[in-house]
Amino acid sequence: MFNGKMMHLKAADGFEFAAYDVHPSGPHKGGLVMVQEIFGVNDDMKRAADRFARHGYHVIAPSMYDRLDPGFSLDDHSPESIQKAGGLARQNGLENAMMDIKACFEALEPEGSVYVTGFCYGGSMSWLAACNIPGFKAASAYYGSLLAGTKDQTPHCPVIAHFGKLDPHIPVADGEAFAAANPDVPTYFYEAGHGFAREGSDDYDAESDRLALERTLALFEANP
């Protein structure tokens, strides 16, 4: 069903966490740390990682809550699931998240250039990784709710950000505040809601997804 496999990496504190690992099907263009939505490394995230691999990237998607609930993964987006997943995201904290993302970066770095992207929770973490982990060549942050609150941080690499104008979780004003504070970060607004790049879901918007992916791949290719 999916092209990759689960493996384990060790963070700086010695903790071993799981990650979905998928290699490119064609010529290698670089490594990509892809950070999950709040629901864990579920089928949606494996599908997204496989798509980036088809575009030439060796993708590692870390299971971000393994310190709290190893292997946590939900495929339903019920209010109860959102509450549980959101609680894990908050409990995990920034330090643990950055350690795990850095471990993924270090695993990919020997192969060449490394990029970072993510969706929802992962959109926030990809922005924060660009600001807190030197070495990434570029970052693409999809509808991260923490971007407005961390807008004064400074990225070490080129970044683009994506927001949905119809997102019920992130007010357009938050995206505009982030954009105003970061004039060097191209910030795009789409006629879509939260999760517009989650293929196969009710939130999916094909045209917004196509355009955001096109911009993301162009960013990566412009920063080898």
The DSSP symbol for 181 reads H
CA distance linking residue 207 with residue 220, whole number of Å:
20
The closest of 158, 100, 89 to 124, measured between CA atoms, is 89
Per-residue pLDDT of the chain (224 residues; tens, 9 = 90+): 899 999 999 999 999 999 999 999 899 999 999 999 999 999 999 999 999 999 999 999 999 999 999 999 999 889 999 999 999 999 999 999 999 999 999 999 999 999 999 999 999 999 999 999 999 999 999 999 999 999 999 999 999 999 999 999 999 999 999 999 999 999 999 999 999 999 988 899 999 999 999 999 999 999 99
Q: Kindly state which CATH superfamily the domain 5-222 is placed in.
A: Alpha/Beta hydrolase fold, catalytic domain (3.40.50.1820)
Instruction: Please give the pLDDT value at position 183.
Output: 98
Q: Specify the amino acid at residue 105.
A: F
Instruction: Please give the pLDDT value at position 12.
Output: 98
Helix axes 121-132, 79-108, angle to 10 degrees: 30
The DSSP symbol for 204 reads -
Please name every residue paired with 19 in a beta bridge, in sequence order, or none if there are none.
Answer: 7, 62
The DSSP symbol for 40 reads B
The closest of 189, 97, 85, 206 to 143, measured between CA atoms, is 189
Instruction: Please give the pLDDT value at position 220.
Output: 99
Instruction: Please give the pLDDT value at position 186.
Output: 99
Instruction: Please give the pLDDT value at position 77.
Output: 86
Tokens of residue 173, six digits:
């004003």
Q: How far is CA 224 from the centre of its chain?
A: 19
Could you report the per-residue pLDDT of 144-162, keeping only the tens digit for each?
999 999 999 999 999 999 9
The model's pTM: 0.98
The DSSP symbol for 110 reads G
User: From its phi and psi, is residue 103 left (phi > 0), alpha (psi between -120 and 50) or beta?
Assistant: alpha
